[in-house]
Structure 1
Amino acid sequence: MNVGLGLPIGDPRTLLDWARRADAGPFSTIGLLDRLVYDNPEPLVTLAALAGATTRIRVQTGVLIAPMRQPALMAKQAATLDRLSGGRLTLGIGLGARRDDYLAAGVELRGRGALLDEIMTVLRRVWSGGPYGVGVGPIGPAPAREGGPEVLFGTFSPAGIQRIARFGDGLLCSAPPAEMTRLFRATEQAWQAAGRDGRPKLVAQVNAALGPDAVIEEARGQLHRYYSGPQFLNAPDDYADSTVRRMLGTRDQIHDALGRARDMGADEVMFYCWSKDVDQVDRFADVMP
C-alpha cells in the first residue's frame, strides 16, 4: 500500500521544500486541494512547479472543482502537466461544497453533477485525440498517459460512484472509516457492473499532523478555519469541530490508520498535513512501516 502527503496551504513558499523532501522519501504522491474563494494556491499552477522540482513522485489534485472550470482549457492544462511531468499527474476531481466558490466562478450550483458528466465526456474525448466539438479540431498536447491522466473522483454519493465507473480510474475518499469501507465496496460493485477491466484504485484521505504541540495546534486551527463558515453545503453545525476531532496527531494513530486502510483494501493513503512545518515529512517517513 502506497502513502502520500497532502501539502499544507498556509504558506506556498514552503511547498517546493515539502515536494523535494517527499520526493527523496518513501512517499508515492503529493496532493493539493482546490478552492477559489480562499487563500490557497491554485493547484494546477502549483503542481506544475512542484513537478518540475521533483523527479519521481506523483502530483495530485485533491480535488479539483471541475464544474468551475472551462473544459477545453482544463483538458489542455491537465494534458500539459501530465506530459511535462512524464505521466505523474493524478487528477482528483469533484463537485466541491462551497456556495461562494460557485458564485465567484459564475456557475450555477444546481445541475453541477450533470455538468461534470458533460465535462468528463469532453476531457476524455480531447485526451484521446478526438476533436473538441463540431467545427473545432483536436486540442493538444497529447497527455503522457494514453487516454489522459489518471482520474480519481472525490465523492460520497451514489451518482458520484456511478461516475467513477463511467469516466474514472478510482475513488478518492475522505469519509470516516465505516463510511469509507461502504464507499470502497460500492465503487468496486459499480466498476464490475459496468464491465470495466481490472479494479478501481481506492485512495483513503485522512487529515493528520505530526510534531510538537505547536505544530498540532497550528494544524487544528488551519483545519477548523478551512471547514468553518455558512457557505459549506449540507454540513451540520458542528462539522468543523468534528473534523478537527478526527484529525490524527500521534504516531500510534497514524499506525492504526494505515492498518485500517490496508484492511479496507486501500491502494494508497493520503495524509493531509495542515501545519506548514516541513519537518513533518521526515516524521511521517519515520512512522511508515
Structure 2
Amino acid sequence: MNVGIGLPIGDPAALLSWARRAEAGPFSTLGLLDRLVYDNPEPLVALAVLAGATSRIRVQTEVLLAPLRDTALLAKQAATLDRMTGGRLVLGLGVGGRDDDHQVAGVPLTTRGRRLDGQMEVMRRLWSGQAHGDGAGPIGPLPARPGGPEILFGGFRPAAIERVARWGDGFLAAAPPTWAGGLFDTARAFWREYGRDGEPRLVAQVNVALGPDHVVDEARAAMHAYYAFTGRADHMVAGLLTTPGGVREAVTAFAGLGADEVMLYCYGTDPDQVDRLADAL
C-alpha cells in the first residue's frame, strides 16, 4: 500500500522543502487541500511548482472545489499539469460546503452537485480531444494520461460517492478506519452497479502531527481554525494522531480495509515531520 503526505497550508514557501524530502523518502504522493476564502495556497499553482522541483512523486488535489472554477479553464489547467508532469497529476474533486467560498465565486451553493456533474461531462470530452461545442474547437493540450488525469472524488453522502463510478477512477475518504470501511463498501457497490471493470482506487486520509509539543500544538490550532465552521472542530482535533504507533496502527487498519493509499495529512508546518513519518513507517 502506498503512503502519501498531505501538505500543510500555513507556510507556502516551505512546501518545496516538504516536497523534496517526501520524494527522497518512501512517500508516493503530495496532497494539497483547496479553499477560496482562506489563507491557503491555490492548489494547482502550488502543485505545479512542487512538481517542477520533483521527478517521481505524484501531486494530488484533495479535494479541488471544481464548482468554484470555470470548466474549460480547469480542464486546460489540469491537462497542462498532467502533460508536463508525465501523468503525475491526481485530480481529487469535491463540491465544498462553505457559503463564503461559493458567494465569492458567484456559484450558488445549492447547485454545486449538478454543476460538478456537468463539468465532468465537459472535461472528459475535452480531455479526449473533442470539440467543446457551439462552434468552439478542441481545447489542448491533451493530458499525458488518455482520457484525462486520474480522478478521485471525495465526499460522504451516496450522491457524492456515486460520482466515483459515473465519472471517476477512485474514492478519497477523509474518515477514520471505523467509518471509512462503510464508505469504501459504498464506492465498490456503485462501481459494480455501473458495470465498471476492476475495482475503484481507494484512498484514505488521516490527520497526523509528529514532533515536539509546539509542533503538535500548532497542528491542533490550525485544525481547529480550519474546521471551526463545522461546529465540530473539537471532535476533529481529538482525532489527530500524534505518536508513531498511532500512525502505524491507522495505516495498518486502512490496509485491512483494502485501501490502496493512505494520505498522512499534516497541519503543522515543521518539515522535519516528513522524516519523522518516514521513520514511523
Instruction: Give structure 1 regions of 4+ aligned residues with deviation exceeding 4 angstroms.
Output: none
In 1, the alpha carbon distance for the partners of 2:176 and 2:29 equals 21
Where does residue 270 of structure 1 map in the other structure? 263
The counterpart of 1:248, out of the listed 226, 237, 241, is: 241
Q: Which residue of 1 aligns with 2:128?
A: 128
Aligned twin of 2:50: 50
Distance 1:223 1:162 in 2: 28
Residue 285 in structure 1 maps to residue 278 in structure 2:
yes
SS at match of 1:62: strand
Structure-1 separation of matches of 2:140 and 2:25 = 33
Matched, 1:150 2:150: yes
Distance 1:101 1:260 in 2: 34
Q: What's the CA shift string for 1:248-272, capped at 9, x where partnerless?
A: 1101100110111011110000011
Does the Cα contact within 8 Å between 2:58 and 2:90 map onto a contact in 1?
Answer: yes
How many correspondences in the alignment? 281
Whether the 8 Å CA contact 2:154–2:161 is kept in 1: the answer is: no
- TM-score of the pair, normalised by structure 2: 0.99
**Paired AA for residue 222 in structure 1:** A
Deviation at 1:161, TM superposition (A): 1.5
Match of 1:89 in 2: 89
Aligned 1:1-289 pairs, distance under 5 A:
1-229=1-229, 235=230, 237=231, 239-288=232-281
TM-score (norm 1): 0.96
In 1, Cα distance between the equivalents of 2:97 and 2:19? 27
| Structure 1 SS opposite 2:110 | coil
The letter of the residue matching 1:250 is: T
Mapped to 2, the partners of 1:13 and 1:267 lie a distance apart of 30
Q: CA deviation at 1:133?
A: 1.6
Q: CA separation in 2, counterparts of 1:173 and 1:161?
A: 10
CA distance in 1, matches of 2:161, 2:267: 28
Query: What percentage of residue pairs aligned between the two structures are identical?
Result: 62
Alpha-carbon distance, 1:177 to partner: 2.2
Residue 232 of structure 1: aligned partner: none
Q: Aligned partners of 1:209 and 1:68: how far apart in 2?
A: 30
Structure 1: where are the runs of 5+ without partners? 230-234
Structure 2 residue ranges without an equivalent (≥5): none
Q: CA offsets per residue over residues 147-182 of structure 1, 9 Å max, x none?
A: 000000011011112111010001001123222100
TM-superposed deviation, 1:192 = 1.0
The answer to whether the 8 Å contact 2:97/2:109 transfers is no
Deviation track 1:91-123 (CA, whole Å, cap 9, x = no partner) reads 000011211000010110112111110000011
Q: 2: distance between equivalents of 1:7 and 1:180?
A: 21
Distance in 1 between residues matched to 2:260 and 2:9, nearest whole Å = 25
Deviations 1:46-94 (A, max 9, x none): 0000000001000000000000000000000000000111100000000
Task: Specify the code of the residue in structure 1 equivalent to 2:275.
Answer: D
RMSD: 0.7
